[in-house]
Amino acid sequence: MKRKRLINILAIGAVCATCLVGGTLAYLTDAERVTNKFQVGKIDIELTEPTWNETENQEITPTQIIKKDPQITNVGINDAFVYLEVSVPMASVITANNIGIRENNGVARYQELFTFAPNSAWTLLKSEELNRNMVYTYSYNQILKKNAVTTPLFQTVTFANVVEGQIDEQQYDVKVNAFAIQTEHTGDDGSDIPAQAKAAYTKYANQNLGTSGAVEVEKK
């Protein structure tokens, strides 16, 4: 008995549905348009050396300490991981220690001609010899906000105690390159800033293998 009643109810429901389909319906309608505006970010940095004086350093002597303080300013829109790359020239020369005794038994040794002491606010990512230069790449230990300035990587460079007569009148440059990479979607979330900066740098390097597309801003 119950089964028969259920069938009747289902049949009535089907009839009603048919009636609705065949009827005339009036709809209340409304419409709105949404336009999403997206602003493309911008990474832009400036490399400066406030204490560098080119005029004073046209000619240098062994063991001379030279003021040179590379730092980066974020003049773009987005936060950024920032990096400094320092190229130190190398040559085969005889050097002396701080009391004048020739090192390496007086035999020329292939070595860096300048030294510097990096600030602890920076982390060394890698060092490698390229084109008779030892190239050091450092990342800043903080995310650089808009209009913020980094701590200088170092304050001075010191010329090696090269025994005179070996490289007289030759010109050597300590070149500094500045790089910046966006922070969004590039670092490893959850890790500290140096680790995130390293991850972003690795991704960038892999992305640009075999290309000339770099984020180099300026050379000093």
Region 164-175: mean pLDDT is 84
Beta carbons of 197 and 84 less than 8 angstroms apart: no
CA 204 to chain centre: 9
- Please, what is the average pLDDT of the chain? 79
Beta carbons of 87 and 134 less than 8 angstroms apart: yes
Which of 1 and 48 is assigned the larger pLDDT? 48
Question: What is the value of pTM for the model shown?
Answer: 0.76
What domains lie within the chain, and their CATH numbers? Answer: 45-89+117-159+173-207 (2.60.40)
Q: Take residue 101 and report the two structure tokens written for it.
A: 């005794």
Q: Kind of pairing, strands 80-93 and 133-140?
A: antiparallel
User: Hey, is 52 helix, strand or coil?
Assistant: coil
pLDDT over 70 at 104, yes or no: yes
Which of 110 and 43 is assigned the larger pLDDT? 110
pLDDT in tens, 136-168: 999 999 999 999 999 999 999 999 999 988 887
Instruction: Give the single-character DSSP code of 175.
Output: E
Taking residue 121's Cβ as centre, other Cβ atoms within 10 Å add up to 13
pLDDT of residue 218: 39
